[in-house]
Amino acid sequence: MKMNFRILFDNIQTISTIYNSKTTFLKANEFNSNFLRIDILDENIDEINDISNHILLGNRFNGNKYTNANLNRNI
């Protein structure tokens, strides 16, 4: 697919996290959960505030930079 996937290593907890090559952005209200985790990697404060506002409003970003990670795709 010729895509780069960022890998972050945590040697303290001995885990590795593989991130999608595109920013994964899902609607928070699609989950039946009281808590969600957001990984902020390279965003500046304005981008973080924009992300937070989208999440609080139940919106998501669209476009070529973003993906919903095929979360609801049937296999």
Domain locations along the chain: 7-66
Q: What Å distances lie between residue 20 and 12, 17, 33, CA to CA?
A: 23, 10, 22
Query: What pTM was computed for the model?
Result: 0.63
pLDDT in tens, 30-73: 778 788 788 888 889 998 998 888 888 878 777 787 777 666 66
Q: Kindly tell me if the per-residue pLDDT of 20 is higher than 70.
A: yes
